[in-house]
Amino acid sequence: MAMPELPEVETVRRGLARFFGRDRPRIASVRRSPLPLRAVRWRTVPLARLAGARLVGVDRHGKVLLLRLDGPATLALHLGMSGRLLADRGEAPRRPHTHLVLRFDDGRRLRLCDPRRFGSASALAGHPSGADLGLGPDALDHPWTAEAFVQAFAGTRRTVFDALLDQRRIAGLGNIYVQELLFEARIDPRAAAGRLARRSTARLAARVRPLLEAAIRRGGTTLRDFLDPSGHAGTNANALKVYGQAGAPCKICGTTLRPLRLGGRTVTSCSRCQRTGRSHTTRATTRLLP
């Protein structure tokens, strides 16, 4: 099961921004039982302290949604594996697996619904940045260049697949979009990140933003659980070229896509199109699957 990544969380952020518009409603009550945000590097306050705070903005960094409140405080939300952040009016029916409810003074409600309970929420003092939370530059908003990727991969012996998944290096990418990005950039997932040529990191830099923006326009990738705040599924699954496509022909060259086991994950790639970096792949943790 795939975890919501940057395009899905950005879809949620934009949906909430439309739902609240320019209004700045005040939180009337907080009902909660979610897990705290893991590995947060910032001072937290009890969630109950958010009652009475006014919503002043909806931001995002990587996969973390940030509800900015006056006071100041920030409600940091992570959707986990199956979390949905749904917005509705007071007359909406009760939803199952609801672990957090914010009720606003104008009757609107925001619910974190999560059947598997991997989603998390933490109330943070002030308005911390992504760096304050231990996250790297945002995959969508950062001005990525070849040099920026060289710096992000400096000092690592990990594969480029694993390095792109590291939220401390680049925040927001997960299994789906890393596989798609490496295919677009024609890079072997097993290539050593710290030894990529400048032209390879330049292709990463040129493709990361268009890839994410296209997924956002399609409302994100819904494979099973993800819905936007209005309850709609995304359609980007129809545009995936390698993720989940093992056994299918490559959409560029027709070669049968093969899965391999890489760092505990199944990764699909094209052996013909993704040759870049093959001369310095990291093979210790990889094996080709039948």
**Is 5 a catalytic site residue?**
yes
Residue the block writes with tokens 């830099």: 205
Catalytic site residue 241? no
How many CB atoms sit inside 10 A of residue 213's CB?
13
> Which residues fall within 8 angstroms of residue 164, CB to CB, at 6 or more apart?
170, 173, 178, 181, 182, 193
Selected catalytic residue, list 63, 68, 169, 190 = 63
Q: Is residue 63 among the annotated active site residues?
A: yes
Question: Is 91 known to be catalytic?
Answer: no
**β-pairing, 44-45 with 109-113?**
unpaired
31, 49, 265, 272: the catalytic one is 265
Q: Which residues are catalytic?
A: 4-5, 63, 265
